[in-house]
Amino acid sequence: MTKGIFITFEGPEGAGKTTVIKEIHHRLQQLGKHSVLTREPGGIRIAEKIRTIILDNDHEEMDGRTEALLYAAARRQHLTEKVVPALEDGAIVLCDRFVDSSLAYQGYARGLGIDEVLAINEFAINGVMPQHTLYFDLPPEEGLARIAASGDREQNRLDNEALQFHKDVCEGYRLVRKRFPERIETIDATGSVKAVTEIVWERVASFIS
Ligand SMILES: Nc1ncnc2c1ncn2[C@@H]1O[C@H](COP(=O)(O)OP(=O)(O)OP(=O)(O)O)[C@@H](O)[C@H]1O
Ligand SMILES: Cc1cn([C@H]2C[C@H](O)[C@@H](COP(=O)(O)O)O2)c(=O)[nH]c1=O
């Protein structure tokens, strides 16, 4: 049994997850908490390499099942090498995306089936699930516009999918939220960075109190 708290953050592209999580991590550290900030795909050397393969704009021929398996493989390595040891050490682990991304993106938007993608992920995660998930709710057009306006990030292979794909991702997330209502809470991500940060901080503070 792990001693820490595993919290994941989900949502469409540009919803503000990365921006807000950094501030939450900072606030937790200021309080003297053992907070670990990580992301998927990535977070450790092997998974970052897998991330590069998945998101490379030059890999447009990648098969959907290959993509789903690569995400699951990166997840497995990330869990065993970083997330589980941190949880065993009593940390609050803040993870930018996790299995729900696979269910929404590969399961629904790619059309592989939410149950099918859940099945390969059950093998990968072997029972390790977050206690809490915060879903950043924002229309996909707004998130993509934020990314385009920022100019500080190169668009990857998934960002470059058609708008309909991103709408499908949001529909996939709607189904996933319906399936796991006890774990996933929805956050209104349409406000300013400060407004969204305060909403998320209130929720995270309640999880650790
Ligand atoms: N609430 C907000 N209002 C306006 N702009 C925002 C807000 N939150 C984040 N941004 C800006 O939008 C862009 C995307 O934010 P961020 O990278 O945090 O999103 P994300 O959810 O992590 O996206 P992705 O999943 O695609 O990596 C950044 O330029 C960020 O500064
Ligand atoms: C974990 C995970 C991620 N994705 C997608 C979602 C994004 O398009 C990229 C990751 O980029 P980010 O800037 O770090 O959000 O990968 C996915 O399709 N399936 C997954 O399991």
Q: Say whether 143 counts as a known binding-site residue.
A: no
Ranges of the chain with pLDDT below 70: 1-2
Determine which residue's CA is closest to atom 26 belonging to ligand 1: 13
- The Cβ of residue 20 has, within 10 Å, a number of other Cβ atoms equal to 26
Q: Is the CB of 39 under 6 A from ligand 2?
A: yes
**How far is 39 from 168, CA to CA, in rounded Å?**
22
Does the beta carbon of 102 sit less than 6 angstroms from any atom of ligand 2?
Answer: yes
Q: Is 92 exposed, middle or buried (0-12, 13-18, 19+ CB in 10 A)?
A: buried
Determine which residue's CA is closest to atom 9 belonging to ligand 1: 16
**What are the structure tokens assigned to 171, written together?**
């529909």
Q: Which atom of ligand 1 is nearest to the CA of 190?
A: 1
- 151 is annotated as contributing to ligand binding: no
Q: Whose CA is nearest to atom 15 of ligand 1?
A: 16
Is 12 labelled as part of a ligand binding site? yes
Residue 93, H or E segment: strand 92-96
Q: How far apart are CA 74 and CA 59, in angstroms?
A: 17
Domain 5-208 has CATH 3.20.20.140: no
Find the residues whose C-beta lies inside 6 A of ligand 1: 11, 13-19, 146-147, 150, 192-193, 196
Say yes or no: CB of residue 118 within 6 Å of ligand 2: no
Closest Cα to residue 204, out of 1, 37, 77?
37
Domain map of the chain by residue range?
Answer: 5-208
Nearest ligand 2 atom to the CA of 39 is: 14
Angle at alpha carbon of residue 29, lines to 190 and 26, rounded to 5°: 30
List, as one string, the DSSP characters of 97-153.
S-HHHIIIIIIIITSS-HHHHHHHHHHHHTT---SEEEEEE--HHHHHHHHHHH-SS
**Sheet architecture: strand order including 92-96:** 35-39, 92-96, 5-10, 132-137, 184-188
Q: Is 127 annotated as a binding residue?
A: no
Whether the predicted model's global pTM rises above the 0.95 cut: yes
Judge if the beta carbon of residue 8 lies within 6 A of ligand 2.
no
| DSSP for 28-85, written as a single string | HHHTT--EEEEESS-SSHHHHHHHHHHH-TT-TT--HHHHHHHHHHHHHHHIIIIIHH
Give the nearest ligand 1 atom to 195 CA: 1
Supply the ipTM of this predicted assembly. Answer: 0.98
Listed in sequence order, the residues at least 6 apart from 160 whose beta carbon sits closer than 8 Å to its beta carbon are 57
Q: What is the pLDDT of residue 151?
A: 79
What pairs with residue 94 in β-bridges? 7, 37
Residue-level pLDDT at 154: 81
Q: Check whether 16 is labelled as a binding-site residue.
A: yes
Nearest CA to ligand 2 atom 4: 101
